[in-house]
Structure 1
Amino acid sequence: MDASFLYMETPSAHAHVVGTMVLDPSTSPVAYSFERVVDLILERLHLLAPFRRRLVTVPFQISHPLWIEDPDFDIENHMHRTVVRAPGSMHELAEIVGDIASRPLDRTRPLWELWLVEGLEDGHLAMVTKMHHAAIDGVTGADLMAHLFDLAPDAEPPPAPAQPWQPDTIPGDLELAVDALRHVTGNPARMVKVLRRTVKSVADVVQQRSGPTDPDKPTPAMPFTAPRVRWSGAITPHRVVAFGKATLDDMRLVKSTFGTTVNDVVLAACTMTLRRYLAAHDDLPDQPLVCSVPVSVHGKTDQAGTNQVSTMFVRLPVQLDDPLEVLRTINAETKEAKIMQSAIGADTLQDFAQFIPPTLFNRAMRLYSNLNLADRHRPVHNLIVSNVPGPPIPLFAAGAQVKGVFPFGPLLEGAGLNLTVLSNMGHVDFGVIGCRETVPDVWDIADGFGAAVLELRKLAEQAAGATDDRASEPAAKAAKATTPATPAKRAPARKAPGAAPATKAAAKKAAPPAKKTAKRR
């Protein structure tokens, strides 16, 4: 699976992921500097395997490339510094991040870069990382963050390893070829196992699709059913990014009020902001968009490798105007998508990735890109939406507190937009990356995400208030039933001859209880 991200990369479709961490250096016990960040990486290099490894290509590409510990590793090839232009807002930072994301990584070195961006507002800094997807996925990225960041600004560095990491010797062509042939000769046995699992997956999917249908449930979203929108088609190497933010508690309120999941709320907010964006650009389709949602299968597959991921397709009903209808529709869609994804199985995508002929796959992707074939057929999907769990507690990088973590995934040919959210210490940080030529005004999408979450929260508060009112009605009726009734006033009796004194005496005796009753009320 890792190698697949190498083969699908073209000059226009880069396969790296970019992360932007906004730092507050005022928490650092000593003066913050670029040199401190370099020292931070060096003292933890033994814990950061993807930072040390480089690729070695097998002769004639008869098998997948290998990872080795880089014998020519030089930290200066990977770490850079720059200054944001005034006034140093998030908009100016986005220009730098977009430029970094627009350039591919050098495959002759370990596939990562780290940029320290200085000059942000409020004295903040930004740490921008770029890593190839072949070396990292969402889960392994979280593991890297655990090694890279500390829980306190004055935390001690991790203990040095008993033995420093040792670089490998670059294997010769003959050694690589022999090892590749050994791998290839074992393919038939593995292929039998893969075919057996594939047959089962196909049978499960057919059974799922041919079973009794519920008219109230949607059919699973499928590839090649997406409408064409402005970012559907061939992409360029140029990237634009924007940052958004929301509150996790708002999403949890919406989730609990309407009986959905946080991921449903994320997809609903994405749908709402995309609807407004497309309407503003006179490009709103009359049918749902189709998005790819990566699903981690770590622990659910027996395949080796860094990337252990599957994909499910979900419709985003941008044609709907009512936010609650959007949320309920997405909740039904994701339930069906999970059933379909489970029927396909966690291993299917991983299985076939290992048998892809490297040269054929890469040349096919380059031909597809060079001929702009994505412009000539119905889109496979419209965009990618990822939801990545982040740190629930404060983190520090070389003493500086992490204030925001904004992830940006890769773009694929035919789908020039990627939305990624990451939960971070009670917030949800939202990263938007798009093709510069097909996604103008990208900040409208980022700002619209936070606005959509606030709109859903208000609807949740209204629904909760209405529920409280309905719940209080039976209690009010019960309270009314148990409240002592006010004594009814009797009509004055006619005065009978000779009976006046007795009537007055009775009235005097009855008066005290009446006063007590009034006092109780």
Structure 2
Amino acid sequence: MADHMSPLDAAFLDLEDEEPEVSMATASIAVFEGPAPATEEFLTAMGARLRLMPRYRQKARQVPFDLGSPVWVDDPAFDLTYHVRRVALAPPGDDPVLHERIGDIMSQRLDRARPLWEYWVIEGLSRGRWALLSKLHPCMVGGLSGTRLNRATFDESPAGRAEPPEEVWTPAPEPSTLSLAAGALRDLLLNPVEQAHMIGRALAAPRATIRCVADTVRGLIALTGTLRPASVSTLTGPLGGYRRYAVARGSLTDVEEIAHRADVTLNDVVLSAISGGFRHLLLQRGEEPHPRAVRSLVPVSVRARGEGGGRENRVSLMPAFLPVHVVDPVERLRVVHEHLAELEASGEAQAGEAMTALAGHEPFLPISWGLRLAAHLPQRHLVTVTTNVPWPREPLDLLGRRLLEILPYVPIALRLRTGVSICTYGDQVTIGVTGDYDSAPEVGPLARTIENELQALSLAYRPTPALSVVTPLRPKSARPRRVAKRPSTGTKAKAADGRPR
């Protein structure tokens, strides 16, 4: 049976088709201590690990006339050396030089006739470091979890892993165009039967079904109410094909301390700093930071109350206005926290998940045409996008080299001239800022302002010998949000003479 893409994954391909100059590829840039591995050493290691990532040997095939969603098929001409590139930075190899090269690489679209990924080994970083840029089309992410990719690519100790000999891979025969069309027609004929089975399962559990439908309808009504156009600004408009990139950094320990003392989440803290960055950007451009000036797709939790958790979050992307109109960083954090709490309580994220799942049971043709039509309509609802990708707290390695930091990259499209991606690894929060080369040249100053906003929050919530400067923030109307508490160290403040106060 054909391995079809989900409607959401297929939407990324359709969106790229409708914007010929735009690359939808996402990326993570792993910076290692040196020296960089030799080409043959790297190819041998990655070749042995491809068995853990079968999607990396597959390419996307369109179904004739969009009768079904695209399918994944083995690439009979797969060549690992085509997907692994190597480049050296010009001296001095510092952050600005690296960021410029990242922007150049990410401006180029992936070859749609081959598996949709590339590895770039980047040499010549300052202080003897090197980087591995993993470039991936988002349509592949649906079948590849971040945890699985990390385990397949990186090692959990400097000693590495005992790699089995590289297997002899034999691609499955590539289906013909006629067989793809015939399979899609068969699926269309069977679609009513599948829907009948789905209805039967729903009727077998009427209470759960009624509750799910009611929650979904309530979330859709709330979602419809939030999709009012954002205020007009220079943050949206036509895009070119070239990108700029910059990075902001912060201490994860500091962010956790702020979240603990303010009784908010880590996302709240970082989004508050990002809001301050966009406020500064608008003021620098001579524009009013209106309350509805910056609506972003932001990560919010979709974990049900009482559901077990652990360290991993279940998140969805929801449209939220960033409070760029608020001057004080502490007050801005409060507004972010309450707004996201209201979004979570509204059920909008769960409604989005339900509609995406439902689309998987509908004929693909009208879904594809609808998405392509929407891509040509004026888009005034969103101004930017903010993603959040948590990496392990424990250190990772690759071929005996320690992974020092991860730089995240998010693509931009649909008139969004900037995008922000958040990554946590070790004790560092890294924030990547993507900008259109011509219309968003201030990605560097925006990143620096985000760093400054994190520092301002850290100072505001820094413990003092007296009572805390600020009090915990609690939503006034939305339901309380579950926040992991950090245990107290029990250490008392000491006076200058060393005696406890």
Q: Is this a same-fold pair by TM over 0.5?
A: yes
Contact 1:13 1:236 in 2 (8 A): yes
State how far apart, in whole Å, the 1-side matches of 2:199 and 2:449 are: 44
Please, which runs of 5 or more residues in structure 1 have no aligned partner?
Answer: 212-218, 301-307, 471-521
Match of 1:15 in 2: 24
1:346 counterpart SS class: helix
Name the count of aligned residue pairs: 445
Between the aligned partners of 1:201 and 1:416, the Cα distance in structure 2 is: 37
Unpaired runs of at least 5, structure 2: 1-7, 203-207, 306-313, 472-501
Give the direction of change, closer, same or farther, for the CA distance of 1:11–1:464 in structure 2 (3 Å limit): farther
Q: CA deviation at 1:417?
A: 1.4
Percent identity at matched positions?
28
CA distance in 2, matches of 1:296, 1:146: 24
1:169, distance to aligned residue in structure 2 (A): 0.7
Q: How does 1:60-459 map to 2 (within 5 A)?
A: 60-136=65-141, 140-160=145-165, 164-190=168-194, 193=198, 203-204=214-215, 207=218, 222-288=226-292, 289-294=294-299, 310-340=316-346, 341-342=348-349, 344=351, 346-352=353-359, 355=362, 357-358=364-365, 361=368, 365=372, 368=375, 374=378, 379-459=380-460
Measured after TM superposition, the shift of residue 364 of structure 1 is 6.3
TM-superposed CA distance for 1:222, in Å, is 1.5
Residues 280-337 of structure 1, C-alpha deviations (whole Å, 9 max, x = no match): 121233224211124687999xxxxxxx974312221000101111000111011111
Under a length normalisation based on structure 1, what TM-score does the superposition of the two structures give?
Answer: 0.77
Aligned counterpart, 1:499? none
Equivalent residues of 1:417, 1:434 under 8 A apart: yes
AA aligned to 2:48 is E
Contact 1:257 1:464 in 2 (8 A): no
Larger radius of gyration: 1
Give the alignment's Cα RMSD to 1 decimal: 3.3
CA–CA separation in structure 2 for the residues paired with 1:284 and 1:418: 20
The DSSP-based 3-state class of the residue aligned with 1:411 is coil
1:143-187 CA-to-partner distances (Å, cap 9, x unmatched) read: 2111101122222333358x7543111111222122111211233
Letter matched to residue 28 of structure 2: G
* Cα distance, 1:254 vs structure 2: 0.6
Tell me by how many angstroms 1:365 deviates.
Answer: 3.4
> Using a 3 Å threshold, how does the CA distance of structure 1 residues 445 and 65 change in structure 2: closer, same or farther?
same
Counterpart CA distance in 2 for 1:283 and 1:424 is: 35
Distance 2:300 2:187 in 1: 28
CA offsets, 1:107-142, max 9 Å, x none?
A: 111100111111110111111111110001697133
Shift of 1:348: 1.3
Structure 1 residue 465, shift from structure 2 partner: 4.1
1:366-399, Cα deviation, whole Å (9 max, x unpaired): 8945xxx54xx6x121111111111211111222
Structure 1 pair 330/367, CA: closer, same or farther in 2 (3 Å)?
Answer: closer
Change (3 A) 1:208 1:385: closer
Q: Kindly indicate whether residue 65 of structure 2 is the aligned counterpart of residue 25 of structure 1.
A: no
Q: Distance in 2 between matches of 1:442 and 1:37?
A: 33
Identify the range of structure 1 (453-462 vs 339-348) with the bigger mean alpha-carbon deviation: 339-348
Name the CA shift for 1:249/1:290 in 2 (closer, same or farther; >3 Å).
Answer: same
C-alpha distance in 1 between matches for 2:90 and 2:259: 40
Partner of 2:495: none
Contact 1:221–1:290 (Cα < 8 Å) also in 2: no
State the secondary structure of the residue aligned to 2:279: helix
- In structure 2, what is the equivalent of residue 501 of structure 1? none
Q: What is the Cα deviation at residue 83 of structure 1? A: 1.1
- Residues 284, 189 of structure 1: CA spacing in aligned structure 2 closer, same or farther, 3 A cutoff? farther
- Aligned to 1:428, the other structure's residue is in SS state strand
Structure 1: how far apart are the matches of 2:142 and 2:125? 29
